[in-house]
Amino acid sequence: MLSGHFGLVSAASFSPDGRWIVTAGPSSAGLWNVRSRSLLFYLRGDTDLLTSARFAPDGRTIVTSSRDGSVRTYRCDLCGGLDELLALARGQLAATRRMLTPAERRRYLHE
């Protein structure tokens, strides 16, 4: 059971690899980690009640539709594989201009 979505959920879908769930709530979609059952973040932008939320076959694109007929797409950078996540983390870290300590490198990058 997933706990934390605000309002009723009108639809839910697993990612192709089974690691993520996207839910369609009244005004936002939620991205959930299947293993931890935790809500990672909300995808906001729709202006009417959501009617569906699904993953595209690539597993990195989330598509929502709403009652007014609009369709939105969101790119899920977290939904990639381990190599992609490491590249994302390294890019984010480089943007901060901070170096990881040796202990942080072992803990977060498994180096």
Q: What is the arithmetic mean of pLDDT over 71-98?
A: 81
What are the phi and psi torsion angles at 17 (to 5°)? -90, 0
Residue 110: the pLDDT is: 67
Q: What is the arithmetic mean of pLDDT over 83-111?
A: 79
Mean pLDDT, the chain, rounded, equals 85
Q: What is the arithmetic mean of pLDDT over 86-104?
A: 82
Given a cut of 60, is residue 1 above it in pLDDT? no
pLDDT tens track for 13-64: 999 999 999 999 888 899 998 998 888 888 887 778 899 999 999 999 999 9
| Residue intervals in the chain for CATH 2.40.10 | 1-80
Residues in the chain: 111
Given a cut of 60, is residue 96 above it in pLDDT? yes
What CATH number does domain 1-80 carry, 3.40.50, 2.40.10, 2.60.120, 1.10.3470? 2.40.10
Q: How far is CA 29 from CA 38, 78, 80, in A?
A: 14, 15, 19
